Structure 1
């Protein structure tokens, strides 16, 4: 991307983020004064407790990262997580920049490009599966959410059971597709062949100039093999680390509301976390800032939660899971650069 285009993109995404955050309370029928009053009741011990749960979640996720790249320590996995998130949370389409930074760091530690490619494939797959899993659980709990939701008389449920069942189908299909891809080499080759044909029809001559037809038909089975090799050796810490991470994220969300004096049922909390996880997949703004807050708050308000309370709770939650990662990750990156300021020695 050229410098002028990059500058324009940065300005537009920054303006969109600010606008969404500023207008967030008004969009759900409250104001920043009321939200600020609720947040002002937090004590230092309460903030410290939230910080401990947040750090514990990141440490749990480091088990996933360490198992995805054999030879990577959990401390270095935590470093990759913090620094990559810090970059991704401040730059438009920052996910690619964060990945590039992590690639440079792993190369500095002596890992090969192929090892990092496998690491990236495994961690991306695990993160997508985890988010789809949370969404599937939330949709399956829709009847309980409807029963726990206190809506005014005459209002219909935010997510009727029949509609939830319909939405659950594509999620289950996506999960089945991933397992089908991993099930056999023939399935991976078939998926690559279908994608090659689809890309050829869409891009035509441009695609043929960029690469030969059949690349995915050959590369996807190889990718499947490398992913399965990593899974076989580290599926236990990966599974345990990801489950612990999601539970600690749920605990952090519960604490954010609880410490602000709001009690939400477990199904409603899971639904809120599912919406938040889903919206982080939309790379409109850095780290989904603004989009995630507005979407999650709107979903919980539609379930009957008080607008000021839900806005304060989600702002506090995102303050840890998004905003705090920027300075902490920045300091971590500065320390890493300081320690690794000398040129690397060729192997």
Structure 2
């Protein structure tokens, strides 16, 4: 009970902090950039957004949700796309309400998928594989953002450009090494030795190679047969999310260019990892505004409106949508349970030999 109340208190404080960061975002923007902006100015920007643009954003949001179902169906053979959409929506709602919502999301994933007849091991494999693919692409995104800026010439000098190329290529090589180790045994052994060397250097009592080998053993079948579908699903999911960001920028007059929009999107996805608030709410918006105004010269009002609008499509709207999905799942589960309970014994015995 004590832990429960601690979790409730931390969740309440985290949500309160997210609300405060959003409510006082104009003041935060002014403190960080020195550019004054008010809610009246932000509201005036919102008022210029027409219905066609809102419809486009809605379509892109729905397409991004559908694209991610391919990651879940690829991770759990036998899972349908409607089930995957329900699972993703409900899990996102939980994660968006709790500062450490990942654990609660996993528990909800187990409850829903077991209710659909899946065993514990396939569910564990799905959780591991989808988590690995999300993590890999979360690492790749900053490299993509850096490369986009470098190719657009958005760097102050050759030294910074050289450092940017080194950093971007290093990130991509690291991700490639991990992906290869998940697929090939020899690469896995080499990476395991490297991890063990790092652990020994840090003087930790932990066998990294053994842990990685257990991870490979659990995920090998899915990784070997479904890696392409998983990767394509993640590419389209993130691509549609970037399209939402670009639409928000165009709608508010804050579009700085293709490469710049990719960099802003990459930063926004990285900042969602900030655990101090659920899904980095409030922190993501502040980072987006700072990059748009400080690096790309976008006026404060359009930049702030863009950040808030993008936060709505990638965070806020997922809470009621996920609540509806969770409610529909619970209602159907209860109805199915009552239907089974009222079936004649002879029918039940025939249906489940």
Shift of 1:189: 4.7
Of stretches 94-103 and 260-269 in structure 1, the one that deviates more from structure 2 is 260-269
Secondary structure of 1:89's counterpart equals: helix
CA deviation digits over 1:201-260, x for unaligned, max 9?
55x7xxxxxxxx75x644532321342321232233222222211221111111111122
Question: Within 5 A, what are the aligned runs for 1:149-160?
Answer: 160=160
Q: Establish whether residue 74 from structure 1 lines up as the match of residue 81 from structure 2.
A: yes
Q: Establish whether residue 46 from structure 1 lines up as the match of residue 53 from structure 2.
A: yes
Partner residue in 1 for 2:133: 126
Q: Establish whether residue 329 from structure 1 lines up as the match of residue 341 from structure 2.
A: no
Equivalent of residue 315 in structure 1, options 284, 290, 308: 308
For the aligned residues, what is the CA RMSD? 2.8
Partner residue in 1 for 2:18: 17
Q: 1:180 to 1:56 in 2, by over 3 A?
A: closer
Shift of 1:295: 1.3
Partner residue in 2 for 1:85: 92
Partner residue in 2 for 1:37: 44
TM-score normalized with structure 2 length: 0.84
Partner residue in 1 for 2:294: 302
Shift of 1:123: 0.7
Partner residue in 1 for 2:277: 285
Partner residue in 1 for 2:222: 230
CA distance in 1, matches of 2:170, 2:327: 43
Q: 1:170 to 1:143 in 2, by over 3 A?
A: closer
CA distance in 2, matches of 1:166, 1:189: 24
Structure 2: runs of 5+ lacking an equivalent: 30-34, 342-351
CA distance in 1, matches of 2:141, 2:194: 25
TM-score normalized with structure 1 length: 0.85
Shift of 1:146: 4.6
Secondary structure of 1:264's counterpart equals: coil
CA distance in 2, matches of 1:290, 1:26: 13
CA distance in 1, matches of 2:112, 2:191: 30
8 Å Cα contact 2:196/2:209 also seen in 1: yes
Secondary structure of 1:141's counterpart equals: helix
Partner residue in 2 for 1:96: 103
CA distance in 1, matches of 2:269, 2:21: 18
Shift of 1:192: 6.9
Of stretches 31-40 and 172-181 in structure 1, the one that deviates more from structure 2 is 172-181
CA deviation digits over 1:160-207, x for unaligned, max 9?
3244235325523531441353232424653675687689x55x7xxx
Higher helix share: 2
CA distance in 1, matches of 2:242, 2:233: 14
Partner residue in 2 for 1:246: 238
Partner residue in 2 for 1:172: 172
CA distance in 2, matches of 1:249, 1:13: 25
Structure 1: runs of 5+ lacking an equivalent: 150-155, 205-212
CA distance in 2, matches of 1:91, 1:144: 38
CA distance in 2, matches of 1:85, 1:63: 16
8 Å Cα contact 1:42/1:260 also seen in 2: yes
**Displacement over 6 Å in runs of 4+:** 343-347
Aligned residues: 328
Partner residue in 1 for 2:253: 261
Shift of 1:92: 2.1
